[in-house]
Structure 1
Amino acid sequence: MISLLTATAAIPAHAAEVAPAAVPEAPAAGQYQPLVSARIESFSLAAATGTTFSPLGKGGVPASGVAAVAFQLHAQSTGNGLLQIYPSGTTRAGTSTVNFVAGQPADNAVISGLGADGRIAVHNGATSGAAATVSVDVIGYYTSDEATTTHSTFVPLHPARLVPAGTALKASTPTPIAPLGKGGIPSSGVTAVVAAVSVLPGNTTAGQIVAYPSGAPKPVTSWDLKYPGNTGARYTTQITVPIGADGRFVLESTTPTTAWVEVAGYFQDSSGAAAGSVFRPVTPARIGGEHIVAADEDPTAVVTFAGQAGVPASGASAVVFNLTANSVIKDDRTYEAGAVNVYAEGASPPVARQLSYQADARRWPTQQVSRLGAGGRVVLRNTGVGTVRLLADVLGYYVPVTTRLSGLPWNSGAGVQPMDQGFIDVFATERGAPVDNVVLFPPRQHWDWMLDYKLWERSLPDGFDKERQDLVMTVPLWAEDRTLETFGTQAEWELLATRMAAIDPDTYVRLGWEMNLPSSYWALTDDNRVEWQAAFIQAVQWMKGVAPGLRIVWNPNKGDDHQTCPNDPDCARDAFQVVKDYVDVYAIDSYDSYPAADTPAGRATHLDGEGYLNKSLQYAVANGKKFAVPEWGISCKVSLYPEPDRDCDWAGNAGGDNPAYIELYQDFFAANAGDLAFESYFDEPALYIQSSLIQSPLGPKAPAAYRAGIAANQQ
């Protein structure tokens, strides 16, 4: 064992100073508090009449500080008609919330703002003069600007299936659903999930289904969806269900049925890494009139919500609306059953369904929440074989509570070479978005060079904002003129830490990065592992002793460790297990090489290979860490010179101007924003890699794909 205490130094006096107490900021209005479903109202409403009710002080909703309430609305009648829900005191518009027919139950999820009197209005628009029995099951509420408590923010997702298609539910038997780590939902920090649940009844007996958090009692009087007996058809509703302490929720049906569960978003607590949004209710309004969509023609309708009915022209991340569908007879054909996909314009159509309609003239409503695409638009796609009429009534929208400088849902930045010549600002301009982080590589030949903070300052983006941008420092475990035995003194590590913290108090520090590559002179090996681990721990202790806000990143290269540890190809992970209590983020560097992601097999390896993206993310999560990709980029695949080792280090094993690699990685970041601490593109024009997208790029395709991916994901 080496002697670690090679020198000592007193902690600088300023490190012990107590900062003045910060004035707490008022929590942003529109945050969500999920509740276990509870019945708060049940009444009869005569045809062509209205009433109001107050949700305040009922079912877990507080008596004040509430802007909107989420609930499941149920109706049944001896006639046909519809119910309209809207804030009390506002004008009732030509919209609908739930449609009912004689003798059949009707259900829908609803989010409604409260009127100035704290009440919600209900109107029975029955066309047959029949009264309707109405029930309200509250499932959550959104805060007003009077609230003093921080709650959850919303993260919209591209719709994705959470359970295998057609999961069987036994009668009166709780079926646990584990959503964490699936469909873009992170593995921690989740308070509730928004999903479409579709059921295919399994026998002739009608039934009902309810969702509730694992570990909580089943709601006695509430349900999410009532369905008829076996008709061969699917029925769909939207649920917003809290997550239990074990990270699961429960589906329970009263009769045997088959279920599909397809996520549309989630709510996160203050530990969430994704850019969360808060809700703004609007008075319900119909957008765009009728949309007639024929499957045998163009099966899609594109609806513009931005700038309509109170939704802002820009800045909204998602929209909430009620979607009503009914089959239409066309060209002498019969009514046809079908489904509707709902997704942001510019995204690919999902497998998931967000609404089901039947082979009849009945109107089938289902509340939707969708991320907004380019221009604030949403695609409605008819996946049936016939023609469907669609009506979209907006209920509100989500706006990011704190927008990242990039406008992306995740922390996106770059490490641009040369560092101190302003290319980081050129990179930001070319990609169409500021950087959220900047990765710096201090010279490492001598300790004094590593401490050159003036170089760091010259390498920052113009106007670097330590509150909204992150410094990511790349630091070897010892300078090149040292050895593992003389890896640095306490004074040197403390000075390095204080200088980093002066620029950004919560700097990410990639200490000993790429320790599993033989090109790293500080490599972790079979022979030095014990001493290496001890030096790592000591360096962290010294740095955090004077700069406790620093965040330490454990950052091997992708794949295994056989190049530096032939006797233990998992030595970097084994070492991580020893030091992980001193680590905040687990990361990998992953370039388009070994293999190139220019074939389906190559892309599959980058996603699911051992030590690549998905498995490294899973490993990080399993160890309670956020994940990062501090270096990623394309690479040249052809040498320009006949002499070996002059250029293109990975010639023959890289993808060159490969847009598929760019798209693969940006899709991964978008899908895993909640578990991602940061990602940074390595933009290097030097001949050994030629990864630059802005300085003599290898070709036009990868830069174009990168810009397109940024634009498509901006909120």
Structure 2
Amino acid sequence: MTKTRTFRTLGILIALAVYLLSIATISPAGAETASVPVTVTAAPTTGLVDGSTVTVTVTAGSSVIYGIEARQCSSAGAIDYIADFSPTVSGKCTPTALGSAGADAFKTVTAVSPYSTATLTFKVGKGTSGSFSLQSGGTATVQCDETHACKLTLLLQVAGGTVFQSFPLGWDGMGARFNPVTPVRILDTRTTNTPTGVAGQVPDGGTLNLQITGANGIPVDATAVVMNVTAVLPTGAGFITVWPRGVTQPLSSNLNFVPGDVVPNLVTVGIGSNGQVSLYHQGGTNDLIADVVGYYSPVNGDYFTAVTPVRALDTRAGTGAALARVAQGGEVSLQITNANAVPANATGVVLNVTAVSPDAAGYVTVYPNGVTRPLASNLNFVPGDVVPNLVIVGIGTSGKVNLFNANGTIDLVADIVGYYSPDNTAKQFYPVTPVRALDTRNGTGGVSAPVGQGASIDLTVRGANGIPAGASAIVMNTTAVTPNAASYLTAWPTGVTRPLASNLNYVVGDIVPNLVQVGIGSNGKVSLFNNAGSVDLVADLTGYFA
């Protein structure tokens, strides 16, 4: 027994010596993880405040863990490990004292028996005048707070080699930037592409918890997701609510439908606990589809600039394309950059796209020019419809996006409401738990009657419902409820001339939602105009840009 323990201790000491010597010649710059069987998790990594405790769990399977070091890194990009884990080289990362390591910031933490797992806890601090508070009581020159993204980076030595793992840290109140992705289908209950791997309609009153981060190319640092959600052939009238998992289900809705509908709507929603969002369904049974088109991250991405809505495409008038309906299987390639105030360096665009009077049931897919058309849809329609949907899409080659029509012939209209670019003087996104800001049926938002023909209402945004004075634009799901005439709704920043644009189109008796992303006027308000008849309006805020 004594000899066995002695040999085991000697083996660990030899391995530690090898580990310490290896620090000067470790993995090439930029490598995030070596290929050895080690699993590393850290939580929480978002919503952090000064003094938060982060717990790191390391599991090496049958491998022995010989040592762990950690660094707090001011860079949100790839880490240069050769510099950052050498005691003699000044890198971008500062040694961080781990909970069991005492005050020695360079101390290697050794796992306890059986040496294949380790649980470490340490505290993080906000940057104050360029400093970062270590758990040991010292300070270092790492800025890490609401406006400075940073990383926790770990070096682990195991029997199979050296492992590097890093975790972006997101602070409470940290803004996020947009990253477009080629649309990818993450949910389709008609197939086995579901959280349980089993096909089947969602029952009345049913909830799905949908994994967002760590899947389909969405990183763990994402704080909000943008996805097109479609209700397919519901058996009853009802609605869908999407919200961050782990918080109380809000009084809000994202889709409204009647039996037999195929109804899409764009959803921008904060990501909740376990990197998931929840979808609640009420009204008969229903199939649901979700296509991710992008995500927001505090670590990387592009900034948003709102514009007064401008009509970039109207095939009925020859604006932006030929004066002709789009044929079955046809595409419109729409110029985005260097037109309609969108600069050459824009990477993504926000469009309100409307399908007008199709002569067959079908769908439209919007995607970046120059890539393979994805298995996704942005609008679904039946003959005679006038159907809008907000579209956020990456800009492709030659500064263009493509609009594909699957069936029949159709006219297409597209209004630009904003764009994304690397310009860091533009705005970042702050998700909020959905909150009802307007309901003319009960006076929420200051209006307690339907909006009449040719009338506008002004909704106070800044200083209400948690929207700060510095907000420049909002994201809200806006719903037209039981209009008494066919009409359309326009949303725009209060104080400027109402643009030639529309956000919702509806007919008598409809309940029609559409996501609206719109700049806030100089008086802190947005205006909503109803063209004909009268209609009740409901608006649920899901976030803002500042």
Matches within 5 A, 1:522-561: none
Structure 1 portions without partners, runs of 5+:
1-19, 329-334, 400-715
Q: Which residue of 2 aligns with 1:436?
A: none
- What is the aligned counterpart of 1:322 among 466, 477, 489? 477
Q: Which residue of 1 aligns with 2:411?
A: 258
Amino acid at match of 1:139: V
Amino acid at match of 1:386: G
Amino acid at match of 2:294: G
Amino acid at match of 1:40: I
The answer on whether the counterparts of 1:293 and 1:301 sit within 8 Å (CA) in structure 2 is no
Deviation at 1:293, TM superposition (A): 4.2
The answer on whether the counterparts of 2:481 and 2:538 sit within 8 Å (CA) in structure 1 is no
Amino acid at match of 1:244: G
Indicate whether 1:38 and 2:195 are aligned: no
Q: Which residue of 2 aligns with 1:248?
A: 400
Q: Which residue of 1 aligns with 2:287?
A: 133
Deviation at 1:151, TM superposition (A): 1.4
Q: Which residue of 2 aligns with 1:392?
A: 539
Indicate whether 1:276 and 2:426 are aligned: yes
The answer on whether the counterparts of 2:451 and 2:457 sit within 8 Å (CA) in structure 1 is no
Which string of whole-angstrom CA distances, capped at 9 and with x for unpartnered residues, describes residues 439-486 of structure 1?
Answer: xxxxxxxxxxxxxxxxxxxxxxxxxxxxxxxxxxxxxxxxxxxxxxxx
Deviation at 1:201, TM superposition (A): 3.1
In angstroms, what is the RMSD of aligned CA positions?
2.0
Deviation at 1:185, TM superposition (A): 1.0
* Rounded Cα–Cα distance in structure 2 between residues aligned with 1:59 and 1:282: 23
The answer on whether the counterparts of 1:154 and 1:268 sit within 8 Å (CA) in structure 2 is yes
SS of 1:246 mapped into structure 2: helix
Indicate whether 1:94 and 2:241 are aligned: no
- Structure with more of its chain in helix, by fraction: 1
Amino acid at match of 1:396: G
Which string of whole-angstrom CA distances, capped at 9 and with x for unpartnered residues, describes residues 84-119 of structure 1?
Answer: 001111111221100011001111000010113211
* Rounded Cα–Cα distance in structure 2 between residues aligned with 1:115 and 1:309: 20
Q: Which residue of 2 aligns with 1:239?
A: 391
Matches within 5 A, 1:232-381: 233-255=385-407, 256-269=409-422, 272=423, 275-290=425-440, 292-296=449-453, 299-312=455-468, 314-328=469-483, 335-359=484-508, 361-381=509-529
Which string of whole-angstrom CA distances, capped at 9 and with x for unpartnered residues, describes residues 243-274 of structure 1?
Answer: 112110100011211001100000002xx3x8
Q: Which residue of 1 aligns with 2:49?
A: none
Q: Which residue of 2 aligns with 1:75?
A: 231
The answer on whether the counterparts of 2:337 and 2:345 sit within 8 Å (CA) in structure 1 is no
Which string of whole-angstrom CA distances, capped at 9 and with x for unpartnered residues, describes residues 111-165 of structure 1?
Answer: 0101132110111122xxx111111100000014xx3xx3100000100011245
The answer on whether the counterparts of 1:327 and 1:386 sit within 8 Å (CA) in structure 2 is no
CA 288–202 in structure 1, closer or farther in 2 if over 3 Å, else same: closer
SS of 1:190 mapped into structure 2: coil
Q: Which residue of 2 aligns with 1:192?
A: 348
The answer on whether the counterparts of 2:314 and 2:411 sit within 8 Å (CA) in structure 1 is no
Report which stretch shifted further, 206-215 or 233-242.
233-242
Structure 2 portions without partners, runs of 5+:
1-89, 93-140, 150-173, 190-200, 441-446
* Rounded Cα–Cα distance in structure 2 between residues aligned with 1:165 and 1:155: 26
Which string of whole-angstrom CA distances, capped at 9 and with x for unpartnered residues, describes residues 637-663 of structure 1?
Answer: xxxxxxxxxxxxxxxxxxxxxxxxxxx
- What percent of counterpart residues are identical? 25
The answer on whether the counterparts of 1:293 and 1:300 sit within 8 Å (CA) in structure 2 is no
* Rounded Cα–Cα distance in structure 2 between residues aligned with 1:376 and 1:116: 32
Amino acid at match of 1:171: Q
* Rounded Cα–Cα distance in structure 2 between residues aligned with 1:338 and 1:289: 19
Deviation at 1:210, TM superposition (A): 0.7
Which string of whole-angstrom CA distances, capped at 9 and with x for unpartnered residues, describes residues 6-52 of structure 1?
Answer: xxxxxxxxxxxxxx999997457401100111101123311112221
* Rounded Cα–Cα distance in structure 2 between residues aligned with 1:56 and 1:349: 39
* Rounded Cα–Cα distance in structure 1 between residues aligned with 2:340 and 2:480: 26
* Rounded Cα–Cα distance in structure 1 between residues aligned with 2:526 and 2:246: 30
Report which stretch shifted further, 303-312 or 161-170.
161-170
* Rounded Cα–Cα distance in structure 2 between residues aligned with 1:337 and 1:263: 23
Q: Which residue of 2 aligns with 1:121?
A: 278
SS of 1:117 mapped into structure 2: helix
Q: Which residue of 1 aligns with 2:37?
A: none
Q: Which residue of 2 aligns with 1:154?
A: 304
* Rounded Cα–Cα distance in structure 2 between residues aligned with 1:198 and 1:68: 25
- What is the aligned counterpart of 2:331 among 174, 177, 180? 174
* Rounded Cα–Cα distance in structure 2 between residues aligned with 1:395 and 1:308: 13
Amino acid at match of 1:194: V
- State the number of aligned residues: 354
The answer on whether the counterparts of 1:327 and 1:337 sit within 8 Å (CA) in structure 2 is no
SS of 1:217 mapped into structure 2: coil
The answer on whether the counterparts of 1:54 and 1:119 sit within 8 Å (CA) in structure 2 is yes
Amino acid at match of 1:159: P
Indicate whether 1:208 and 2:355 are aligned: no
Which string of whole-angstrom CA distances, capped at 9 and with x for unpartnered residues, describes residues 181-237 of structure 1?
Answer: 222211x1111000100111331x2000010000010112x10010011x2x41100
Amino acid at match of 2:394: P
Which string of whole-angstrom CA distances, capped at 9 and with x for unpartnered residues, describes residues 62-101 of structure 1?
Answer: 2x11100000000120111000001111111221100011
Amino acid at match of 1:315: G
TM-score by length of 1: 0.48
CA 190–260 in structure 1, closer or farther in 2 if over 3 Å, else same: same
- Structure with more of its chain in strand, by fraction: 2
* Rounded Cα–Cα distance in structure 1 between residues aligned with 2:518 and 2:425: 16
The answer on whether the counterparts of 2:438 and 2:540 sit within 8 Å (CA) in structure 1 is no
* Rounded Cα–Cα distance in structure 2 between residues aligned with 1:111 and 1:41: 16
The answer on whether the counterparts of 1:281 and 1:397 sit within 8 Å (CA) in structure 2 is yes
* Rounded Cα–Cα distance in structure 2 between residues aligned with 1:289 and 1:152: 33
* Rounded Cα–Cα distance in structure 2 between residues aligned with 1:49 and 1:307: 35
SS of 1:69 mapped into structure 2: strand
Amino acid at match of 1:252: F
Amino acid at match of 1:318: A
Amino acid at match of 2:413: W
